Every structure is written in structure tokens, then in C-alpha cells.
Amino acid sequence: MIKEKFNIFGFIYNPNNKKFLVIFDTPFLLISFAAIIEEAHWFVLVIFFMHALNTMTLLIKPDIFYHSKGEMQLMEEESLNNYLVIMTSVVGIGCLLVSYF
């Protein structure tokens, strides 16, 4: 996996990596669910449902998940990385605000 020319699209959309993606998403589902049990908040519910939708799509309808590869490749890999950094920052800041208030 550690290569100079690692292709994230090839890794994510490889059906052989399905178990890895589900295992990778499971802790986020559990943490979100635990946070909802502790204190329900709309922001945490959105995060939970995003992870749940992703995992359920991958498990129940993998053809839909793998069919979206063409749409994702229209974005350049650099743009995708920037998008992921922005989304991670927004979610992190949102979680901090939820815990503060």
C-alpha cells in the first residue's frame, strides 16, 4: 500500500477491499452511536447517518457503491484530498462545539 504512485481510487473501489472499508467505518459508527446515547444532538445524528448510509450501501448494494467510481474519478485526486481535509475539519470542529455547548 505504501507506494510512490498510490492510487486511492483503485484502493477504495477495489471489491477485494470491501471488508477493510467496513472494518474501517465500524469504529466511527460505534463512536457516533455512543455519543447519541450519551446526548442526542442533530450534528452527531448527521455524522452517524452518513457513516451508516455508507456502510449499508457497501454491504447491501455494493454495485451502487462501485458504480460511483466514474463520478469520483471526475474529481482530481488532489481535489478529493482537499475535500476530505475540509470535511474532516468541519466534522471535528462541529464535534468540539457539540461537546462544549
Mean pLDDT of the chain: 79
Q: How far apart are the first and last CA of the chain?
A: 41
Predicted confidence at residue 8, as pLDDT, reads: 67
Rg (Cα) of the chain, in Å, rounded? 15
Per-residue confidence (pLDDT) for residue 2, from 0 to 100: 55
| Per-residue pLDDT tens over the stretch 59-97 | 888 888 777 777 776 767 677 778 778 888 888 888 888
Q: pLDDT per residue over 24-33, tens digit each? A: 888 888 888 8
DSSP H helices, 1-101, are: 8-12, 18-38, 42-60, 62-67, 69-74, 77-100
